[in-house]
Structure 1
């Protein structure tokens, strides 16, 4: 039986609304320039990647062969050693962060987690779930971790293993913590028991294609990286990618007889469609295509920052960032363009899909609004 006409009309109206809302958001890091219509046939099947993506399973209705290719691509992108990487496609960046901290806890049960005050809100929840001791470190004005405060705090606790939660693109300012500086601090304090997780939710898909390259990956000393698949890459379903050192994952693996696989992931049943989306995007664009998308986003960010400054707005961005920060804007503008605002600051993110005409319309709306001196 089909839907009643009233229900069909409701869906049609909802679709029209979603189209309009999607075209009008500039404040959140989600790519919209994807087209997966070639994959629609796969939605007819219960694709489930339960179990370890690198271990055979008795469950065959999956996309794990594509998931493995996605992980291999990401591992190379993040300069992991060929014989020491493992990973899986997660439900999002927060799950990848939870996994990285989970590995750190199993490796160093007595460890202390250090993270900056600009760290994503989900991390405090993850720390609570894992019952990990933690200390918040000051942030610099640009959102980057305060290395002096980190040095002094770790120095006080140098008898404990150090677990560093590094931000590779903070939520509001896209600031990147420098792993080379962090490792230099740990070296200076002679702390060999260390674990570094990189939260590269947005910038994991950007930083590898930007020169100079940010210090954030395995070659720079991290032990695990989490990146969102629906942000810089693009997916209609939220997802993420977690890549970790294989030797650390082996510590937590256990065999599950009835699925004929290893239990190495956070969730049991896992989405089998999103790995296919990510694989398709990688194959369709390739390294050159991904690099061009990043270059285009950076050009748009420069245009937006300059245009705002010329309009008298105190706009700024971190080096090689696609996030532009400026004083809090009027509610009408925030609502229309769905702009994230916190602590008196608003930001706009020039994802690869952002167009010049959208920025020009946004600037036009700003000029029309006349508010008090604290609000644009």
Structure 2
């Protein structure tokens, strides 16, 4: 007879604000950072903050600064001196610091104080929402002769925040459904009116395919569409792949001249915006390209900043398209989505950029790339019989891999990755076949995460391969990467022994 489990976790009674003061059950000091464990996460794009950043954060938090509004709206005199439009009173110093940090970031992406605006926001998701919001308003000033709305062109590897933003902005409405062939929930169903997200095929490296883009544009023009937003990703979440932004812009401009379309390019460089400009500065994807109008970068990934540190960048004065009059705030205008904002990320970014320079950021990124390459070699030496290394970018510290444990009865299917009871905490050990119980949660500390990549990248509806995203960050070491590979091989060998023996 199975013993009753001892209840654990949070009880309903723990969720009411107590009337009388009482000592919290969980002390902040007891909250663990997963990055400092012997077996750190293998896919999280975060890392511990430096002691200098932590010290500065404490001092800044105590000041309780409200960074409301956007602060890159300026006039420049003949000597090059900047004159700022007024923002909310009492916070002027921080407002100017943020503006400088924005332009420092923009400077490695083809931006200057004269041609770019932006602000720090609540992460890459908010920045992507802002980009599509500005894009929608910009396109509304251009003809839509057949009243079709806006078609969003992007690849299946686009971050889910883009699809979410399209829904929120009422540009289009979509869903996915279970595929009848593979039983995975991957079959993307676009808006029945044709507007909103329309997927474009990819090459084998997960980059947007230019013939597929041409074909999709011509199809949408034939349907009557004249307004387009192209979302190009620089460092996709699954593969780390980089869409060819310059080629995309050239194609869109050609179609603008030949077919009379209007287009807005938003670049989601949440991750690789802090890697590519420093290790491959000749790979342009920013404001050097005339068709690019807004960019997302995210400082809480490879920017060495605390969460949240999203950065929205756009061409000069585009933010005015979404500005709102606010009588009770000095300056009387807010063109951000956030409203009230923390000063933490912009001030820390300013000091980070100054203290390290581009040389320091380049070294920071290169150390991760070197470690990623070491990890790839380790897999090739020890796990090539069951791990397939997929194409990866030289300039993004990702290692996308396929790991497939052999099928076993009805318990684990073909091409289904690693059985989830090995990688996750879900399920009950007692429900497993006896010979598999020793594998229960053996890899859970690594927090492995997988996503889909189409078997035929040209066919966005093709059944997917399961891809594990390995994100190599500064807290990883040759030692803990070696431990992970050894643990992975050990689990695979145990699985094969248990499932193939009679």
Normalising by structure 2, report the TM-score.
Answer: 0.69
* Structure 2 partner of 1:362: 484
1:319 pairs with 2:358? no
Q: How much has 1:12 moved relative to structure 2?
A: 5.8
Q: 2:368 touches 2:397 (CA, 8 Å); kept in 1?
A: yes
Equivalence for 2:267: 198
* Inter-partner Cα distance in structure 1 for 2:158 and 2:125: 12
Q: What is the CA-CA distance between 1:205 and the residue it aligns to?
A: 0.2
Structure 2 match to 1:103: 134
Write the distance in 2 (CA, Å) between the matches of 1:138 and 1:22. 40
Q: Which residue of 2 aligns with 1:348?
A: 470
Shift of 1:20: 5.0
Between 130-139 and 238-247, report the one with greater CA deviation: 130-139
Q: Is the 8 A contact 1:33 1:353 kept in 2?
A: no
More displaced 10-residue stretch of structure 1: 221-230 or 340-349: 340-349
Residues 45-77 of structure 1 show CA distances to partners (whole Å, capped at 9, x for unaligned) of 221111122342233247222211110101111
Instruction: Establish whether residue 296 from structure 1 lines up as the match of residue 335 from structure 2.
Output: no
CA contact (8 A) 2:39 2:484 kept: no
Give distance in 2, aligned partners of 1:271 and 1:181: 37
Counterpart-to-counterpart distance in 2, 1:22 and 1:197? 39
My pick for the range that moved more, 29-38 or 220-229, is 29-38
Matched, 1:119 2:158: yes
2:350 and 2:281 map into 1 onto residues whose CA distance is: 27
Deviation at 1:350, TM superposition (A): 1.2
2:40–2:476 CA contact under 8 A, matched in 1? no
Q: 1:305·1:317 contact (CA, 8 Å) conserved in 2?
A: no
What is the rounded CA distance, in whole Å, between the counterparts of 1:119 and 1:12 in structure 2?
Answer: 36
Alignment partner of 1:49 is 2:115: no
Greater than 6 Å deviation, 4+ residue runs = none
Shift of 1:231: 0.3
More deviation, 136-145/167-176 = 136-145
What's the offset of the Cα at 1:128? 0.8
5+ residue gaps, structure 1, are none
Equivalent position of 2:341 in the other structure: 270
Residue number in structure 1 paired with 2:231: 165
1:336 maps onto 2:445 in alignment: yes
2:211 aligned with 1:148: yes
Per the alignment, in what secondary structure is the counterpart of residue 368 of structure 2? helix
Question: Which residue is 1:219 aligned to?
Answer: 288
- 1:90 equivalent to 2:90? Answer no
> Partners in 2 of 1:185 and 1:288 — Cα distance?
34
Structure 2: runs of 5+ lacking an equivalent? 1-20, 73-84, 141-148, 172-194, 404-417, 424-440, 453-465
Aligned partners of 1:41, 1:154: CA distance in 2, in Å?
Answer: 52
Question: RMSD between aligned alpha carbons?
Answer: 2.5
1:67 equivalent among 88, 98, 122: 98
Q: Measured at CA, do residues 102 and 17 of structure 1 come closer, stay the same or move farther in structure 2, by a change above 3 Å?
A: closer
Q: Deviations over 1:137-158 (max 9, x none)?
A: 2333322223222111111233
Q: Following TM superposition, by how much is the alpha carbon of 1:180 offset from its aligned partner in structure 2, in angstroms? A: 1.5
**Is contact 1:70-1:279 (8 Å) kept?**
yes
Q: Which residue of the partner structure matches residue 431 of structure 2?
A: none
More helix by share: 1
Using the alignment, how far apart are the partners of 1:144 and 1:354 within structure 2?
A: 27
Aligned partner of residue 48 in structure 2, secondary structure: coil
Q: CA distance change for structure 1 residues 231 and 157 in 2, over 3 Å: closer, same or farther? A: same
Instruction: Identify the match of residue 32 of structure 1 among 39, 44, 48.
Output: 48
Question: Within the alignment, does 1:234 sit opposite 2:265 as a pair?
Answer: no
* Structure 1 residue 82 displacement after superposition: 4.2
Q: Tell me how far apart the structure 1 counterparts of residues 166 and 28 of structure 2 sit (CA, whole Å).
A: 42
Give yes or no for contact 2:240–2:393 (8 Å, CA) kept in 1.
Answer: no
The answer to whether residue 250 in structure 2 is matched with residue 184 in structure 1 is yes
- In structure 2, the residue matched to 1:15 is 31
Bigger Rg, structure 1 or 2: 2
Q: Which position in structure 2 is the counterpart of 1:138?
A: 201
* Aligned equivalents of 1:212, 1:66: Cα separation in 2: 25
Q: Give the superposition deviation at 1:287.
A: 0.9
In structure 1, the residue corresponding to 2:328 is in which secondary structure? helix
* CA–CA distance in structure 2, aligned partners of residues 19 and 290 of structure 1: 20
How many residue pairs get aligned? The number is 371
- CA separation of 1:34/1:192 partners in 2, compared to 1, >3 Å: closer, same or farther? farther
Q: TM-score if structure 1 supplies the norm length?
A: 0.90
CA shift in 2, pair 1:23/1:365, >3 Å:
closer
